[in-house]
């Protein structure tokens, strides 16, 4: 749980972090439920301080296995004032909300455009540094190891990314649009993949393939037809506290992808790919139902 002064782009800034509470410090009852109090006098249990800058409670729920894990349902209730009597909103109130929404949209689009142009200049292409813990005041998940970069994969080529074995409870690789950072049709295609969704090779390493065409391996990241974009790699809750090493990358032809894998790497047929896509779609529908 992260209490911030605004979302990325509101008023042209990332947003100040006011308070944070990770699940490892969350007090949970025996039946699985919990209460979190925000603001007011400090109290025992789950409590986060608040001040006048607070505008948004940002909740990050990591879902590793889309088939079996579900986000925790939550209810938010204002406790410092009586429940208001339902009434039709005044025209002035509605106009004010629309004005705020319009300003936030313009600010966020401008912010993301500047962000993308800057990252397009400074981030490496098809070669990525070792993951490190991102600064908390820049919006990174506390204690999460991250690495990011750009990828450029022309038609007929494939970028093979090899990650050494690690003990992270959660890891993910996600492709993002080169302008807006949004995921590439994540419901219908495998443009992102978690550790639970991945297949480790017989030598224990994870090998992922970024390509616009199906290379016939399990860990395929589908570019959906575009030839460049951003990639984000995340590693959470490493038991050993040892950061993963730098990913190894190699740009090869589609025909040579199999040469980058052990000889016993399973092949994925078109029929099996359809089944994988179906389960992904059903899992996403269930998650956001």
- pTM for the model: 0.87
Q: What is the SS3 string spanning 199-217?
A: CECCCCCEEEEEECCCCCC
pLDDT of 139 reads 57
The per-residue pLDDT for 12 is 64
pLDDT of residue 241: 72
- Cβ of 233: how many Cβ atoms within 10 Å? 20
Q: Is 219 helix (H, G, I), strand (E, B) or coil?
A: coil
State the first-to-last Cα distance of the chain, in angstroms, to the nearest integer: 22
Q: Classify residue 68 as exposed, middle or buried by CB count within 10 Å of its CB (0-12, 13-18, 19+).
A: exposed
Residue 131's nearest CA partner among 179, 169, 164, 178 is: 164
Query: For position 71, what pLDDT does the model report?
Result: 83
Residues 6+ apart with CB under 8 A from 283: 66, 67
249: β partners: 161
**Sites in the chain below the pLDDT cut of 50:** none
Residue indicated by tokens 């912010």: 111
Helix or strand run (H / E) with residue 93: helix 91-122
Q: What angle do CA 168, 174, 180 make, to 5 degrees?
A: 140
pLDDT tens across 35-76, in order?
A: 999 999 999 999 999 999 888 888 888 889 988 888 888 999
Nearest to 146 by CA among 247, 217, 287: 247
Give pLDDT, residue 123: 93
Tell me the pLDDT tens digit for each residue of 80-120. Answer: 888 778 889 899 999 999 999 999 889 888 888 888 889 88
């Amino acid at each position: 749980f992260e209490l911030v002064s605004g979302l990325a782009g509101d008023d042209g800034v990332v947003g100040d972090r006011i308070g944070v509470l990770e699940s490892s410090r969350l007090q949970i009852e025996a039946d699985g439920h919990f209460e979190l109090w925000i603001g007011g006098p400090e109290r025992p249990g789950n409590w986060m301080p608040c001040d006048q800058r607070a505008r948004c409670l940002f909740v990050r729920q990591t879902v590793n296995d889309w088939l079996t894990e579900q986000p925790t349902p939550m209810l938010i209730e204002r406790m410092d004032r009586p429940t208001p009597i339902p009434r039709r909103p005044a025209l002035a109130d509605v106009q004010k909300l629309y004005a705020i929404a319009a300003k936030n949209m313009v600010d966020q689009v401008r912010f993301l455009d500047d962000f993308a142009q800057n990252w397009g200049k400074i981030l490496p292409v098809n070669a990525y540094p070792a993951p490190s813990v991102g600064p908390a005041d820049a919006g990174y998940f506390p204690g999460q190891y991250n690495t990011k970069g750009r990828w450029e994969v022309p038609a007929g080529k494939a970028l093979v990314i090899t990650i050494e074995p690690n003990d992270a409870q959660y890891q993910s690789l996600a492709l993002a649009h080169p302008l807006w950072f949004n995921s590439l049709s994540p419901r219908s295609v495998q443009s992102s993949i978690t550790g639970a969704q991945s297949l480790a090779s017989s030598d224990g390493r994870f090998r992922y393939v970024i390509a616009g065409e199906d290379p016939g391996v399990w860990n395929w990241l589908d570019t959906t037809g575009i030839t460049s974009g951003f990639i984000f790699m995340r590693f959470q809750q490493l038991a050993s506290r040892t950061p993963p090493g730098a990913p190894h990358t190699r740009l090869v032809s589609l025909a040579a992808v199999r040469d980058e894998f052990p000889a016993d790497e399973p092949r994925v047929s078109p029929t099996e790919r359809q089944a994988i896509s179906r389960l992904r779609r059903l899992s996403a529908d269930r998650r956001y139902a």
